[in-house]
Amino acid sequence: MRRITQEDVRLGIEYAIKEFNAAVYEPAIADLPLRAIEYALAMTEDREVSSTREIAERMGVEPSSLTSYRRMLEKTRLSSRRHAGTLLFLFRTCATTS
């Protein structure tokens, strides 16, 4: 009988995350415009809550120009509005293997 090693566990987790991404992220972003995807990617740079103003600065645009994209991310449940001007990227912990 073979023992499960730490490498087996690491590979299993890596595989599970890839499957999760394929089952959850890909369908969630499939119909989003590129700018909404860029918005979500900009949110991943923050440890927790993202500031709409800071995201706009990173993207080189005015915060007001991102309102419709923020709503799209909320509708797909990729983000949740916390307070005026702040969002939480809901799948942050599952986005990478690190």
Give me 20's structure tokens: 């999760």
What is the model's pTM? 0.63
How is 39-77 classified by DSSP, letter by letter? Answer: HHHHHTTSSSEEEHHHHHHHHTS-GGGGHHHHHHHHHTT
The domains found in the chain, sorted by start residue, are 6-94 (1.10.10.10)
Task: For residue range 61-97, list pLDDT tens digits in order.
Answer: 999 998 899 888 888 877 767 656 555 555 544 444 4
